[in-house]
Amino acid sequence: MARPTPLSGFPEWLPADRIVERHIIDTLASTFELHGYAEINTRAVETIEQLSRKGEIDKEVYAVNRLHAEPGEERNPLGLHFDLTVPFARYVVENAGKLVFPFKRYQIQPVWRGERPQDGRFREFIQADIDVVGDGELPAFFEVEVPLILAEVFGKLRDIGVPPMTIQVNNRKLLEGFSLGVGIDDVSGVLRALDKLDKIGPDAVGQLLADECGANDEQVRLCLALAQIEGDDASVVDDVRALGVTHPLLDEGLEALAGLMTAASERAPGAIRAQLKIARGLDYYTGTVYETVVSGHEDLGSVCSGGRYDNLASSGTKTYPGVGISLGVTRLMSRLVGRGLVSAGRRVPTVVLVTVADEDSRADADRIAGQLRARGISAEVSPNSSKFGKQIRYADRRGIPYVWFGSSDGDQVKDIRSGDQTDADANAWTPPSEDLRPAISAT
């Protein structure tokens, strides 16, 4: 058989790396549930019409069709979902009569995106989303709650060696109101230009504002001055006011940003930072927007982003405004694993390897392993009855910390890391709590 050719953009982790990923996912899920978010899953496919409702995504969607259609069978244009927000909006509309609003959900699933694979970017990857959706209206304080929950997650991940992460925030109303206030009607053009600031620099952005939005020198100066404003508290609002631009929509955006930054500076100091150059490219955002960078790894780009959307979920007669944020689990994992920043203490979840003296005693070994498992201790039986030295070496290669020896005279368990061996009863013995699961730590 020919050696298979790997497919770029479709990561497959080794078992030890998957243990790290599983820990991150479990941390996300448990934290979301602490705040009252219920888990849902949505189907992998949506209609192309649904996927293309908001934003230009034709180049990103993988189309799905049967390889061999039956004669006369109509081909339903389906595509794999490229994020979890669009499917969630459809889910809310379809199930609105069965949901209690505000509806708080979390979702951790693979998504697929047809883009060129590169560092931190994949064609198949896991996203973890939380969203809150209201029926007709949604209080602004949820725009504060959502990023603070992610900040709590990041604090927990610090405990296993994940570098600090900062959530950068802005408000689309602020940007739109400022653009209109300086006299630029092409608001979308301003947002597109500012969104490229980190990639192409202020001079190039200024040229875009002039060429594509018709901005004069003073308008360019003001827009670039706005984009340079940042801070950890509500004082950024005063910095914007000092530019002398006024507009009712700008006032709304500043009020929302002030509320968020005041709460963040009190409840999660340093975790959330206002960055007024952030615009977020997707068309459906209407209020607060979020992006997240990993300290020391800014080249990775945003690993967690989202924002407020008021018009994405609509049944025609009803609108369901929402706010959400999404963490790219696979993007974060690629840096943690690729740079060796975090690792699992062992390759497998197994705590104990039960030895087999000879094949006639395998049933006894299976019984011991079953007793340990019944008490929540991961155990496996040696695959062969070779000399105990070889069985111990097998456990060592697998990263299993304990080896069990059964005997009619009484069982014993050995910690192969220290060499300590003690009498043990499978109905009573328990390893130290730190050995029950593979430890995750900074490398």
Question: What is the average per-residue pLDDT within 378-404?
Answer: 96
Q: Please tell me whether 131 is known to bind a ligand.
A: yes
Query: Where residue 326 sits, what CATH number does that domain have?
Result: 3.30.930.10
Verify cis geometry, omega within 30 degrees of 0, for the bond prior to 164. Answer: no
Q: Are residues 182 and 128 in the same domain?
A: no
3 in a domain, yes or no?
no
Other CB atoms within 10 Å distance of the CB of residue 144:
21
pLDDT tens digits, 275-301 = 999 987 667 889 999 999 999 999 999
7 in a domain, yes or no?
no
Residue 413 sits in which domain range? 352-442
Helices (H), 350-387: 362-374
Residue 66 scores a pLDDT above 90: no
**Residue 73: per-residue pLDDT:** 60
153 in a domain, yes or no?
no
Four-residue CA torsion sign, 99, 103, 109, 114: positive
Residue type, 10: F
Residue 58 scores a pLDDT above 70: no
219 in a domain, yes or no?
yes
Helices (H), 159-196: 172-181, 187-194
Residues 6+ apart with CB under 8 A from 201: none
Partners of 63 in beta bridges:
79
Tokens of 111: 């998504």
145 in a domain, yes or no?
no
Beta carbons of 406 and 355 less than 8 angstroms apart: yes
Q: Please tell me whether 284 is known to bind a ligand.
A: yes
Q: Please tell me whether 83 is known to bind a ligand.
A: yes
Q: Please tell me whether 113 is known to bind a ligand.
A: yes
pLDDT tens digits, 93-121 = 999 999 999 999 999 999 999 888 988 89
Q: Are residues 230 and 327 in the same domain?
A: no
Q: Give per-residue burial for 18-38: e unless 16+ CB within 10 Å, then b.
A: ebbbbbbbebbeebbeeeebe
Question: What is the average per-residue pLDDT within 32-43?
Answer: 98
169 in a domain, yes or no?
yes
Q: Are residues 336 and 370 in the same domain?
A: no
Question: What is the average per-residue pLDDT within 360-373?
Answer: 97
pTM of the model: 0.91
**Residue 426: per-residue pLDDT:** 97
pLDDT tens digits, 222-256 = 999 999 999 999 999 999 999 999 999 999 999 99
Q: Please tell me whether 280 is known to bind a ligand.
A: yes
Q: Which residue has the tokens 């005041």?
A: 262
332 in a domain, yes or no?
yes
Q: Are residues 70 and 123 in the same domain?
A: yes
pLDDT tens digits, 186-201 = 998 998 898 888 889 9
Beta carbons of 165 and 303 less than 8 angstroms apart: yes
Query: Where residue 377 sits, what CATH number does that domain have?
Result: 3.40.50.800
Q: Please tell me whether 319 is known to bind a ligand.
A: no
Beta carbons of 404 and 368 less than 8 angstroms apart: yes
- Distance CA(392)–CA(381), nearest Å, equals 12
159 in a domain, yes or no?
no
Q: Are residues 204 and 271 in the same domain?
A: yes
The DSSP secondary-structure symbol of 59 reads T
Max Cα distance, the chain (Å): 92
Residues 6+ apart with CB under 8 A from 259: 140, 141, 144
Residue type, 276: L
Residues 6+ apart with CB under 8 A from 61: 48, 51, 52, 79, 80, 82, 114
* Average pLDDT over all residues of the chain: 92
- Distance CA(189)–CA(179), nearest Å, equals 10
Judged by average pLDDT, the poorest of 11-25, 57-71, 202-216, 400-414 is 57-71
Domain's final residue, options 327, 344, 361: 344
Q: Which residue has the tokens 């982790």?
A: 13
Q: Are residues 56 and 130 in the same domain?
A: yes
**Residue 52: per-residue pLDDT:** 78
Between the alpha carbon of residue 434 and those of residues 71, 115, 265, the distances in Å are: 60, 41, 34
Q: Please tell me whether 85 is known to bind a ligand.
A: yes
Residue 64 scores a pLDDT above 90: no
**Residue 65: per-residue pLDDT:** 82
Residue 44 scores a pLDDT above 60: yes
Q: Are residues 53 and 119 in the same domain?
A: yes
Q: Are residues 227 and 301 in the same domain?
A: no
* Strand residues in 87-140 grouped as ranges (E): 103-112, 124-133
Between the alpha carbon of residue 195 and those of residues 145, 152, 376, 381, the distances in Å are: 25, 27, 50, 56
